[in-house]
Chain A
Amino acid sequence: MVNLNAVAPGGGREYYVALGLEGSANKLGVGVVKHPVVGKHEGGDFSYDCESQILSNVRDTYITPAGEGFLPRDTARHHKNWCVRLIKQALEEAGIQNAAKDLDVICFTKGPGMGAPLHSVVVAARTCSLLWGVPLVGVNHCVGHIEMGREITKAVDPVVLYVSGGNTQVIAYSEKRYRIFGETLDIAIGNCLDRFARTLRISNYPSPGYNIEQLALNCKKKDTLLELPYTVKGMDLSMSGILAYIDNLAKDLFRDNRKNRQLFDRDSDEAKISVEDLCFALQENLFAMLVEITERAMAHVNSNQVLIVGGVGCNLRLQEMMQQMCQDRANGQVHATDERFCIDNGVMIAHAGLLQYRMGDFVKDLSETVVTQKFRTDEVYVAWRE
Chain B
Amino acid sequence: MSVPFASYSSPDLESHVFRVDPTCPRYQTTDGSTTGPSPHVLNAGQIDKDRPSEPRTDDNGQITTLGQLRCHLTGLQDEINDFLTERMEIAKGKKTKLEESREQRIETEIKGLLDGGDDNGNDDNS
Q: Can you list, as one digit per residue, whether each of A68-80 has a CB less than 8 Å from chain B (1) or not (0)?
A: 1001011001100
Q: Does A67 contact B (CB under 8 A)?
A: yes
Q: Does B37 contact A (CB under 8 A)?
A: yes
Q: How far is the CA of A74 from the CA of B39 in the complex (A)?
A: 10
A288 to B40, CA, bound (A): 36
Query: Closest residue to B36 on the A side, CB-wise?
Result: A77
Whether the Cβ atoms of A73 and B44 lie closer than 8 Å is no
Interface membership of A64, Cβ < 8 A: yes
Q: Which residue of A71, A81, A82 contacts B41 across the interface (Cβ within 8 Å)? A: A71
- Interface check A36, CB cutoff 8 A: no
What CA separation (Å) do A77 and B31 show in the bound complex? 12
Partner of A73, one of B38, B45, B52: B38
Assuming the A-B contacts A77-B50, A81-B50, are A71 and B40 also in contact, with contact meaning beta carbons closer than 8 angstroms in the complex? yes
Number of interface residues of B (CB under 8 A): 12
Q: Complex formed: what's the CA distance from A82 to B51 in Å?
A: 10
Other-chain residue from A64, A73, A82 in contact with B46 (beta carbon distance below 8 A): A64
Contact of A68 with B51 in the complex, beta carbons under 8 Å: no
A73: chain B residues within 8 A (beta carbon) = 38
Task: Mark interface residues in B27-50 (1 if CB within 8 Å of A CB, else 0).
Answer: 000000001111011001110001
Are A65 and B46 closer than 8 Å at their CB atoms?
Answer: yes
**Contact of B44 with A64 in the complex, beta carbons under 8 Å:** yes
Q: Give residues 283-340 of A contacting B (CB, 8 Å).
A: none
By a CB distance below 8 angstroms, the chain B residues around A78 are 50
Name the CB-closest residue of B to A78: B50
CB within 8 Å of B: which of A69-102? 71, 73-74, 77-78, 81-82
A71-B40, A74-B37, A74-B41 known, 9 other contacts, Cβ within 8 Å: A62-B50, A64-B41, A64-B44, A64-B46, A68-B46, A74-B46, A77-B37, A81-B51, A81-B52
Interchain Cβ contacts under 8 Å between A and B, 12 examples? A64-B41, A64-B46, A71-B40, A71-B41, A74-B37, A74-B46, A77-B37, A78-B50, A81-B50, A81-B51, A81-B52, A82-B50
**Shortest 8 CB-CB contacts between residues of A and residues of B:** A65-B45, A81-B50, A78-B50, A65-B44, A68-B44, A74-B38, A77-B50, A74-B37
